[in-house]
Structure 1
Amino acid sequence: MSDHQQLHDIIAARIAKEGRITFAAFMEACLYEPELGYYTSAGRKVGAEGDFYTSISVHAAFGRVIAREMAQMWRSMGSPAEFTLVECGAGNGRLACDILDYLAEREPVMYGGLSLVLVEREPTLEQAQARLLAQHLEHVRWLAPDEFYSGSFTFSGCLYSNELVDALPVHRVVMTEEGLQEVYVTLKDGELMEEAGALSTPALEEYLQRLGIQLHPGKQAEINLIALEWLTTVAQALQQGFIMTIDYGYPAEELFAPHRMRGTLLCYHRHQTEENPYIRLGQQDITSHVDFTSLMKRGAEIGLQSEWFGEQYRFLMATGIIEELEEVERSDVSEEEKLRIRLALKKLIMPEGMGGIFRVLVQSKGIAEPRLLCQRRIGG
């Protein structure tokens, strides 16, 4: 029996036993069911052999520039003897490796007291991460999500994530003549189907009310309640420092705009987009765009200060991507390689591409007026 069929049967059995399930429960199973979910099964997800590219895939300069900002965060905290980095959803460890490579090379004092904690739901990734981080293993430790989110782990430093929040399970809602309803997943003649019904929790309507959002009749939208729970939990673990969230998304007013009648839910399989989440269960990524306004609002409620929010290209330009490119130009690599790197970095900073689609949110806790590189003014 294929993994796809196994997962289908598991979900179908749950529906048969408990009745229809929320889309969030369906998405949780598709992405995180042990050994069968997209992110909890073995296999390459990112890059040419996977299903999608991320900024990490493009060039090491992405991680090096983020490391520049982390060094500035460290200085904003008074250059403490110990500083902890936490990455949630580290994938193969490429971003962590690029960050530590830079800090070991350029910030030896900070690196000497540095700890990196990787939080990952896919057990087999630890081996791949350890191989990539072989030169830094004395600074690295792993925590299972249950341990990290239990409340027993605390740290000071910076928690960062790249394309994590977009993969957290979302509820789907639709505005009908009867008012706001939720989209459920049910079973009909052995096939997974959608049906609308009463909201599973009043938190869904409260979410939109808190934003001042009124959906137009017929409009569908995704609501990510888990993202708010995630931010609350990591903020409690953070004693002092920063949270950096990198993902594709919009402020709420833009995310829930009337022209997005079907919301932003998409699937990815072998670099192709797919709108049907009920095929290739566990074998295609399912994502939705991040509501950054709600992350900032929840952050303010739990003691986080929003220090910077904007497009990825603005963040990279302010934090040193040009300096990275200039170093390449001064190096002794071939002209052909320099051209390849220029084209790669162009993907990261062009507003029409990754540079404009992705956003960066930096929040702080317990830091009085930090001076971050991303806060520098740039042209444009």
Structure 2
Amino acid sequence: MGENVEKTEFAGILAQRIATGGDLTFASFMEAALYEPGLGYYTSAGRKVGAEGDFYTSMNVHSTFGRLIAKEISRFWELLERPASFTIAEAGAGGGQLALDILDALAELNQPLYQGVCYRLIEKEPSLKQAQAGFLARHGEHLAWSTPEELASGKLSFTGCIISNELFDAMPVHIVEMTAEGLKELYVGVRDGELVEKFGPLSDPRLGEYFGKFQVTLIPGQRAEVNLFAAEWIASAAATLTRGFVLTVDYGYLAEELYAPQRKDGTLMCYHQHQTGEDPLELVGQQDITTHINFSDLMAAGAQAGLTNAWYGEQYRFLLGTGLVEELMRLEAAATSEQERLAHRLNLKKLMLPEGGMGDTFKVLIQAKGVENPQLLCMRNWGMGL
């Protein structure tokens, strides 16, 4: 980190801030780099996702991804005894593509649910509301908005589901390393006007307790990321639901795999114009910074907050269980040319396949509240998955 850095104007602003106020934990640096109003990666102008942006997500590959999530949401609704009012809250909805695909599918496949649905977009960036409202205009009477702070405050309360797609991987993380003197934390400081990394004492006692909680021991020289926000978010989601489900799609592992010795450099990656990098001190505010998430943490935090782990598995298993093969047959039957059929096949293959696709890199976790032993679509032919 920190060598041959391509400096941005925002990097200079942060360097001045650090020189005045002191070193930043990496979590504070990452939060500024991604979310500083008007200057952070997610809060500045420019297309982030898709062919013209910096990365793809599953929803940008094919609308079938949202359609299959909509089918599982229909199953949630049935398991909750078909309430007349049902809320789907999506955290980090971005441009609204997943919301559009889900609402389009519900309008086509499940009118009774669609008529009573409220789709609540939980968004950190206020300027996105207008763009989302325009993009989702045909479903306008079903839309509502909330901030992450409102979710965390406990003021929201509903029956339904809370969903997220690649939310946790962009949450700020602390970085620690096991040194000869014990566990140290990575900070971002300044030397000769440039951002540099340095190690110091742990800024939060929870960092020292974190690995013991998951029975993980870091080897000497091993670096690891710790997301202290994820557990708080899950607790807020659990408190918001009177009854319902939390559905998380993201890339990550259970703790013993995430913090295994072969990942001694951690999992932090940067994305800019579909190129990957490993130096977050480059292109500050102009590149995405992500890490793989600890699904064991989400499960433990959920259990403590009253959620049960209903299902966990690879994205390809979720998609097959919810009807991917049937969707492919439907799309091929409706296609008007062999070129269109091939395009459908290639895109769905990318969603499913391991080794270069998204099928096993991404995982799906479904947690339930107030529903005993839910039988979900994604469980078909796969057993309980836990």
In the other structure, the counterpart of 1:375 is 379
| Matching of residue 19 in structure 1 with residue 15 in structure 2 | no
Ranges in structure 2 where 5+ consecutive residues have no aligned partner: 1-6
Q: 1:310 maps to what in 2?
A: 313
The answer on whether the counterparts of 1:40 and 1:123 sit within 8 Å (CA) in structure 2 is no
Within 5 A, what are the aligned runs for 1:144-163?
144-163=147-166
Q: What's the TM-score, normalizing by structure 1?
A: 0.96
Identity among equivalent positions (%) equals: 56
Equivalent position of 1:121 in the other structure: 124
Which of 231, 234, 237 is the aligned partner of 1:231? 234
| TM-superposition CA deviations, 1:122-156 (whole Å, max 9, x none) | 23322322222111000001122333322211121
Aligned-pair distance for 1:339? Answer: 1.0
Q: Distance in 1 between matches of 2:76 and 2:61?
A: 25
Q: Secondary structure at the match of 1:214?
A: coil
Matches within 5 A, 1:22-41: 22-41=25-44
Q: Deviations over 1:28-52 (max 9, x none)?
A: 0000001111111122110001000
Per-residue deviation, residues 47-92 of structure 1 (Å, max 9, x unmatched): 0010001101111000000000000000000011010000011111
Unaligned stretches of 5+ residues in structure 1:
none
1:332–1:182 Cα change, 3 Å: closer
Quickly say closer, same or farther: Cα 1:332–1:256, change in 2 above 3 A.
Answer: closer
CA distance in 1 between partners of 2:333 and 2:29 (Å):
51
Secondary structure of the 1:282 match is coil
**Residues 65 and 320, structure 1, Cα contact 8 Å, conserved in 2:** yes
Match of 1:364 in 2: 368
1:224 is aligned with what amino acid?
Answer: N
Q: More deviation in 255-264 or 233-242?
A: 233-242
Residues 228-237 or 214-223, more deviating: 228-237
Post-superposition offset of 1:336: 1.3
CA distance in 2, matches of 1:142, 1:304: 24
1:200 counterpart SS class: coil
Corresponding residue for residue 4 of structure 2: none
TM superposition shift of 1:6: 4.0
Q: Give the structure 2 partner of residue 71 of structure 1.
A: 74
Q: CA deviation at 1:332?
A: 4.6
Contact residue 42 and residue 124 of structure 1 kept, 8 A: no
2:206 is the alignment partner of 1:214:
no
SS in 1 for 2:175: strand
RMSD: 1.3
Indicate the residue corresponding to 2:190 in structure 1.
187
Residue correspondence of structure 1 range 176-325 to structure 2 within 5 A? 176-325=179-328
Helix, strand or coil: the match of 1:38?
coil
The Cα offsets for residues 211-259 of structure 1, whole Å up to 9 and x where unpaired, read as 0111000000000001111111121111110000100001111100101
Distance of 2:242 and 2:275 partners within structure 1: 41
CA distance in 1, matches of 2:363, 2:288: 20
Alpha-carbon distance between aligned partners in 1 of 2:335 and 2:268, rounded to the nearest angstrom: 45
Greater shift, 247-256 or 231-240, is seen at 231-240
Residues 297-321 of structure 1 deviation map (CA, whole Å, 9 limit, x = unaligned): 1111111100000100000000111
TM-score (norm 2): 0.95
SS at structure 1 position matched to 2:95: coil
1:123 counterpart letter in structure 2: P
Tell me which of 344, 353, 361 is aligned to 1:350.
353
Per the alignment, residue 94 of structure 1 pairs with 97
Shift of 1:378: 4.2
Distance 2:140 2:278 in 1: 41
Equivalents in 1 of 2:363, 2:8: separation in Å?
36
SS at match of 2:124: coil
Contact 1:60 1:98 in 2 (8 A): yes
Q: Secondary structure at the match of 1:356?
A: coil
Q: Distance in 2 between matches of 1:51 and 1:240?
A: 37
Contact map agreement 2:151 2:236 (CA 8 A) in 1: no
Aligned structure 1 segments of 4 or more residues deviating by more than 4 angstroms: none
